[in-house]
Amino acid sequence: MTSEPVLDIRELSYRYPQGPIALDQVTFSVSGGERIALVGPNGAGKTSLFLCLCGVLVPQAGAALVGGIDIRDAAQRRRLPGQVGIVFQNPDDQLFSATVLDDVAFGPLNQGLKPDEVRVRAIDALSRVGLNGLEERVPWNLSGGEKRRVALAGVLAMRPAILLLDEPSMYLDPRGRRELIDLLNGLGGTQVIASHDLEMVLRTCSRVLLLDAGRIIADGPAVTVLADRELMEAHGLEVPPSLLRRD
Amino acid sequence: MGRFDSLVPLPSASTGYGPRFDPRWKLGATLVGVCAALALQHVVYALLALLGAFGLAFASRLQLRWLMPRIGTVLLAVSIFALPLPLLIDGPGPAWEVGPVKVTSYGAIVGILLAVRAVTVVTLTLTLLATTPLDALLKAAHALGIPGLLVQIGLMTYRYLFLLADELQRLRVAVRVRGFRNAASRHAYQTAGQVAGTLLVRGHDRADRVHHAMRCRGFDRQFHSLTEFRTHLRDVVLFLCVSSVALGLVLLDRVIS
């Protein structure tokens, strides 16, 4: 882990047009190689924050440097896909190509890489997520766990400095979830994981940010934040069972 | 092979020699064949074209039990337009008067021509679809100059059509488990409208999310593909054979007319 922050967010605010405020002066930073979790109730602003960090939403106030890129600067924002990769909640939203290989190659081809290099990257990314040999399969016929892995491979093939994962364990059966936890732990790099699955958070992240109503409520070591029953219940969450047993 | 692998559910067509051909040449040959079939004016030559189309289908090892129901469906649809033609079109040749109704042989011939041309076009198209995965076909279309954005839209329509169908199925189950039954009533029509509306809204939301996912992966409005096409002698031979037959039939048809 490097001490240099790869994510530096200062008083970031975003309000949906004619809608409620989604992010209210959010401030935090993430060091290179750090793996942190973003937890909070539904509507807390986790997905909105991710969409801001990958340049889909443009915050109205505050400052944010993502891998050194100022996300409020339109010219710099074009370089974001190479710096930050996001895996969405529902892999069906992310797998739109006709074959697994085409889908994994989609990002690198958009980066302007040569087909030979793209092929190498795509095969390498598929191998990292343990899906060798599925290159010619149709993505939407895969199992939930495989779809999630293909979606992840599609992002890894772009070799981003920061990986954002939105509810990665959603739709997965226990085996798929276990495999995903092992995979995330083995991937390395900087990861920000938004999840309601607090057990998974405990097993993958060392630090937790608690977000509610668009504000950062707590920022600290995962075990400390998640074990605080009063804090968790005040924000619509529960202490994970494994920490309860410890009590 | 599942329904998602091809636009039409295929039993064993892909085991034929059809898939060995370069999709670009196959697409080109099919387009020439379709245009020629549509240009024919005489039943005899239209029937010869149909024979040629069936020849291609059998050479591609399409099974009759797969092909015929689809052709039957098309014939049924075409018959709505073809059957009334003897009663509607007047022209040269014998005619018979049955009470107040006049039946013309010319109208019958035009009806038959319409049906034969439709079956020829459908047979050629099904042969192409059955022997070529749709993504390869669309990439071939792009290689032949179809704009990338159209190809991208085609691929995504194909991909999300099935997802939308699944969504509709879930909505149908959701209304059925709450006691809804189809009936000719105001409530049933309202429910159908609400289901359609919900589907539209969900489709729109999904389109938004897909667009976000594409932007996050640097989508630049261009269609990129790793697929490489290679031309072999057999591709050229196939194209020349189909084109020669098609153009020959059109020429003969024109000479006679």
* Chain segment A148-168, per-residue pLDDT in tens: 999 999 999 999 999 999 999
A5-246 to CATH, choices 3.40.50.300, 3.50.50.60, 3.40.50.720, 3.30.930.10: 3.40.50.300
Do β-strands A162-166 and A190-194 pair in parallel, antiparallel, or remain unpaired?
A: parallel
B86 and B21 fall within a common domain: yes
Residue B179 lies in a domain: yes
**In Å, what is the CA distance from A148 to each residue of A162, A178, A193, B140, B175?**
18, 13, 14, 29, 30
B199 and B250 fall within a common domain: no
In contact, A80 and B194? CB cutoff 8 Å? no
Taking alpha carbons only, the member of A67, A76, A75, A55 closest to residue A30 is A67
Domain tally for chain B? 2
CB-closest option in B5, B209, B216 to A138: B5
B38 and B91 fall within a common domain: yes
B158 and B209 fall within a common domain: yes
Output helix, strand, coil percentages for chain A, rounded to the nearest 5.
40, 25, 35
Q: Cβ separation of B226 and A92 shorter than 8 Å?
A: no
Residue B233 lies in a domain: yes
**What number is the ipTM of this complex?**
0.81
User: Which residues fall within 8 angstroms of residue B176, CB to CB, at 6 or more apart?
Assistant: none
Residue B6 lies in a domain: no
The pLDDT, as a whole number, for residue A227 is: 94
Q: Is the pLDDT of residue A191 over 80?
A: yes
Chain B interface residues facing chain A, Cβ-Cβ under 8 Å? 2, 4-5, 133-135, 138, 155-156, 158-160, 162-163, 206, 209-210, 212-220, 222, 224-228
Residue B5 lies in a domain: no
B27 and B126 fall within a common domain: yes
Residue-wise pLDDT for B55-64, tens only, equals: 999 988 888 8
Residue-wise pLDDT for A103-140, tens only, equals: 999 999 988 899 999 999 999 999 999 898 899 888 87
Q: Which residues of chain B make contact with A56, given a CB cutoff of 8 A? A: 212, 215-216
**By residue range, what is the domain housing residue B206?**
148-216
Q: Which residues of chain B make contact with A106, given a CB cutoff of 8 A? A: 214, 217, 219, 224
Residue B201 lies in a domain: yes
Residue B1 lies in a domain: no
B24 and B85 fall within a common domain: yes
B80 and B171 fall within a common domain: no
User: How big is the A-B interface in CB pairs under 8 Å?
Assistant: 90
**Residue type (1 letter), A56:** V
Give the residue with greater pLDDT, B90 vs B25: B25
Residue B50 lies in a domain: yes
CA distance B176 to chain A (A): 24
Q: State the DSSP string of B188-250.
A: HHHHHHHHHHHHHHHHHHHHHHHHHHHHHTT--S-----------HHHHHHHHHHHHHHHHHH
B127 and B238 fall within a common domain: yes
Taking alpha carbons only, the member of B196, B144, B148 closest to residue B172 is B196
The pTM assigned to this predicted structure is 0.78
The pLDDT, as a whole number, for residue B7 is: 44
> Does A92 contact chain B (CB < 8 Å)?
yes
In contact, B246 and B33? CB cutoff 8 Å? yes
